Structure 1
Amino acid sequence: MSYDQVMFDLPQNAFEGMPMMQPANPKKRKKQQKKYATVFHPTMEAVCEELFYFADKQKAEARLANIRDTFVGRKLPAGEQWPSDVFELWIRGYAVSEEEEDSGYRGHYARITVAKGDDALWTLKPQKLDEPLHKHPQRKRPDHSHPDWNYPVMRGIKKGRIYEDYDQALGELETLHIDFPDVTIPGKGKLHIIVYEGKEAENYTNKYILSIKTQDEDGRCIIEYKLKDPVAKKAPNLKQKRHEETEEVIGSFTQKLKGERFRKK
């Protein structure tokens, strides 16, 4: 009896209840792991240089959706989702000035929007977002324990930099506290900090109080700095100290000899 005859003679419900056979080693599709964006990635390079052009908005949104699925974006509150034409993310190497690089910036946040480009075409337009350094996912931490007046935040404070609002000024104080946790104590609208003054200063380090002060009705602020008290006095010059001690010994010995000569006479 052939196989076809056997299958033909079996009732229609003969295989009901029997488990279906599975492949020996089913391949599970791995979920793509998102990564931080960088200007060296071809897609992000095209975004940052505004090189993308699309015939319609839907195609531009599809490309933005691909970026959203590929790169780590800014975290949204629970239950919220990005609209189809907007996305914010951190991009390594994006719009970093030389001064910012020296202070530890490795990139910046950017808002990417679907926008009308030239010739009635659509493009992806980036916009730099200023965020305090401590909120960046990647940054270069300082390799010294105390800030000095050349540290960018401290330099801005000393020059009387004006901040757009209280939160921006507070973000600068938070950056100082995070980068120098051992020499700072945060307070409400202020920061106690120990600053390195340099080897030529009277004191190597001094204590300061940095306080946020509102400047005008628009809410703009400055950060005032006030000297509290010296911390470590400058170490004495050991060579000079030894020289003074030697002169003192020689002087006392000379006086002693003079006294003995006077008594002999």
Structure 2
Amino acid sequence: MIHFIGAGPGDAELITVKGMRLLGACDVVIYAGSLVNPEILKYAKKDAKIYDSSCLNLEEIIEIMRKAHNRGQDVARLHTGDPSIYGAIREQMEKLNELGIPYEVCPGVSSLTAAAAVLKKELTVPGVSQTVIVTRMGGRTPVPDRESLKSLAEPKATMAIFLSADKIKKVVEELADSYNPDTPAAVVYKATWPEQKVVVGTLKDISKKAKEAGIDKTAIILVGDFLEGKYEYSRLYHTAFSHGFRAAGNSCGKPGCREGMP
């Protein structure tokens, strides 16, 4: 079995319990060495064969998987963050389908949610934004014209821009038609790593601040009023809001739900 595992954003303790268990049970480990914290490899078997995929192409990665499968060995394919977001796993899975090799995907903690945690912010704030747009600037890997930042910016939703720190000046220019220059913005470099950097500002100065901090890769750009300003309280815990577990103005009535309260 091939296990695609989200290794988390950086902190070795942010791999999931299931991911750690699978990693410790596999005979072969292929990890994205340019992005995955090598500290996570401490959870691997002591005698596991470990490969760094940063110096391998797709065919070489699949061949390692094929040979391991033929030997009856399980393989851990470690991707940074959550493998479903810019993980380049679809082509690997399709190759395995062609070979008839079984696989599964174990989700992980994305650098997006890690960056929000570092900033101590909620991405979906009532009365401000209930939509998160995850995107990137086009580069060596292009994006469809319909997904240009300029087009995506029109709803003024929470923007999470990956793989674009080296183009942050262009990012700001693309957002300028929809977002006010005073819109809060942040850049988080290597969230949860020891070398983590956080830059906070507005669209009018975030490019300059990121450049001064030396951030031009391995960072996520966050834009939107969710970072600062007025918002509405969630109705979930409002005393006048009822739902299936609580009537308006009352607790759910379950034993212990108000334990310790006056």
Q: Same fold (TM over 0.5)?
A: no
- TM-score, normalization: structure 2? 0.23
Greater strand percent: which structure?
Answer: 1
- TM-score, normalization: structure 1? 0.23
